[in-house]
Chains A and B, each alone.
Chain A
Amino acid sequence: MNYKRLLAIAALLFPLMVHSESILAIGIYGLLAATLAVSFNLIFGFTGQLSLFHAAAFGISAYTTAILVTRFQWGFWTAILPAIALVAVLAAIVGTICFRFKLREFYFAVVTMAFAELARLIIMNWNDVTNGTLGMTLVAKPSLGGMAIDSSVAWYYLALGLLAVTYLVCAKVVSSWIGRCLEAIRLNDALGESLGINVFAYKLLVFVLGSVLAGLAGSLYGFYTGFIEPNYLSITHSLDIVAMVLLGGIGSLFGPIIGAFVLIALPHVIDLGAEIRIMLYGGILIFVILAMPGGITGIRSRSKHAA
């Protein structure tokens, strides 16, 4: 049995063995961050597009769901649908602009960052609806099949379910004929285009799909923490996701999950002041980029090749 299956089983049994609320909370944050990292890696690691719109997709969906539930008394699950539809439409607009103008690498990153900042500023200043910098408190808890999701165990399984769906969707995309097109786009898109691959359409598809998955994570995250604020959409948050992917392994499906858990759990494991913690983060990132460009999973596959 490979280590991924073992980890999946361990993740399933985790709440049965661990009864500490705080450890379970780290688990939930880890699962939601991992969903972000895996969906981001589809855009970044597999298609080569460094999107800094990912946190914005997360935040826009979180806000839309929250606003529909608190101000319009929608149910949580019905509110998610328009929220991710909005994310899909916005991602399609941003993606169309970027990919029509053939923005690559740095330019793509900067333009997506600008759109993310724009979304954050709108949310921060639209006080009547979003409550501005103060953020929104969410008291309502969603329910599923008549059962309220208010315990940590229930949230844990909900987050685990979302990560599983995200992972399976991304795995399916990457291993299918679409994955080969993405590989071609990442490595040499002009050559891919000359071989009949609709580069624009596949880039857009992946950008929208990845953003929608991030949006789902955002909707859950807001209701789990019970609080949302404009910083959810910040560039720092997008860069955190980049760090998770780099740490875990950029070209790997599973790596970003490990990267996300390491970076989420680390501050709790080693109790350090905020400044020192950020320095440690930075140090780890520099070390990873210089010493192990394949990330944590990269080391494993390299040692397998050596054996």
Chain B
Amino acid sequence: MLLEVRNLTKRFGGLIAVNDVSFHVEQGEIVGIFGPNGSGKTTTLSLISGMIKPTSGALLWNGDDITHLKPFQIAHWGVVKTFQNPQLFPELTVLDHMRIACHLHLKRTLGWKRLKSLVINTANADVALDTAKRVDHILELCRLTDVRHELAANLSYGAEKMIGVAMAMMCEPKLLLLDEPASGLGKDEIGNLDAVLKDLRNHGTTMVVIDHKVGFLGNLADRSVVLHHGAKIADGTIEDVLAREEVIAAYLGKKHA
């Protein structure tokens, strides 16, 4: 088991945003998290990535407790999250974004040699070449090659979201957390995203993907978790989940169930 979410609860004052949610993610699978607006999906993802701390419950990564680690440490362990609203570095080009996102890759490959590079000018040619290849590959994968010299902030909303995915990929994630990658995208862009995510799956990337509607994710996710009012109401294959009365009730109201 790659990730185990155990009885995760998050209260904001009187509001219980996430209520005793447990699920797990296996190596190589794509887990979709669905639920209407305000059902606690984004909070769950933020809890996993360490951006907010749970009120109670635990997160186990390959059996190790990561509940109290900081976001950068969790990213270092290989759990990387994208943001629902594209987060960018204003003033920088797409390529600059990728250079910043190289941080963990360089940290892992160079280790303490990074400190040496501050004193002696030993630009490690192999590593630089390897990193440049990686950047090219990921830009290609995310369909950003043509715009790599553009300022990120000048790109379309869909491309901005893709930069988020590309930066997360640069971190060499073992588990990629995607927060509503499809929201606000046009039809073409969703098709593009679908292709990108399929590419990523073929490369063996494990993913947890949020969507508030069971759209394109339905045929992508191996397994689905449905949240409603912060609690898990269903967990299983997409067909099973959609047939559940609770799920229909959550989306369409009780009388349809």
Contact = CB atoms under 8 A, between A and B. Distances in A.
Interface size classification for chain A: 20 to 34
Contact of A178 (B51, B87, B118): B118
A195 B78 CA distance: 10
Contacts of B72: 193-194, 196-199
A193 B71 contact: yes
B106 interface: yes
A191 B89 contact: yes
Contacts of A181: 100, 103
Contact of B99 (A180, A193, A197, A198): A180
Nearest to B117: A176
B103 A194 contact: no
Contacts of B118: 172-173, 176, 178
Nearest to B119: A172
A190 interface: yes
A194 B114 contact: no
B117 A195 contact: no
A195 B91 contact: no
B88 to A, nearest CB: 7
A240 interface: no
> What's the dominant secondary structure at chain B's contact region?
helix
A183 interface: yes
A183 B80 contact: no
Contact of B87 (A177, A183, A188, A196): A188
Contacts of A199: 72
Interface centre among B49, B83, B118 (most CB of A within 10 A): B118
Contacts of A191: 83, 87-89, 167
A197 B88 contact: no
A187 interface: yes
Interface string A156-199: 00000000000000001100111011011001101111111111
Contacts of B68: none
A177 B75 contact: no
Contacts of A198: 70, 72
Interface centre among B51, B87, B103, B114 (most CB of A within 10 A): B103
Interface string B71-85: 110011000110100
Given A194-B80, A195-B80, A196-B72, A187 B103 contact: no
Contacts of B47: none
B247 interface: no
A196 B51 contact: no
A196 B76 CA distance: 6
Given A193-B72, A194-B49, A183 B103 contact: no
A77 B157 CA distance: 58
Given A195-B101, A196-B171, A190 B75 contact: no
> What's the dominant secondary structure at chain A's contact region?
helix
Given A188-B87, A191-B88, A196 B104 contact: yes
A264 B118 CA distance: 33
Contact of B89 (A176, A178, A188): A188
Contact of A177 (B49, B88, B103, B167): B103
A183 B92 contact: yes
A198 B107 CA distance: 12
A199 to B, nearest CB: 7
B170 to A, nearest CB: 8
Contacts of B117: 176-177
A46 B182 CA distance: 34
A173 B118 CA distance: 8
B124 to A, nearest CB: 11
Given A194-B75, A195-B75, A195-B80, A188 B88 contact: yes
B167 A195 contact: yes
Nearest to A187: B89
A190 B85 CA distance: 13
B257 to A, nearest CB: 38
Contact of B51 (A176, A192, A194): A194
B13 interface: no
A194 B71 contact: yes
Interface string B94-125: 00100111111011000000100110000000
Interface in A176-224: 176-178, 180-181, 183-184, 187-188, 190-199
Contacts of B14: none
A192 B71 CA distance: 10
B63 interface: no
Contacts of A190: 51, 87
Nearest 3 pairs of A and B residues by beta carbon: A196-B75, A187-B89, A196-B104
Given A177-B114, A188-B88, A195-B80, 10 more contacts: A172-B118, A178-B118, A180-B99, A191-B87, A192-B100, A195-B170, A195-B171, A196-B72, A196-B76, A196-B107
Interface of A: 172-173, 176-178, 180-181, 183-184, 187-188, 190-199
5 contacts: A176-B118, A177-B114, A178-B118, A191-B83, A191-B87
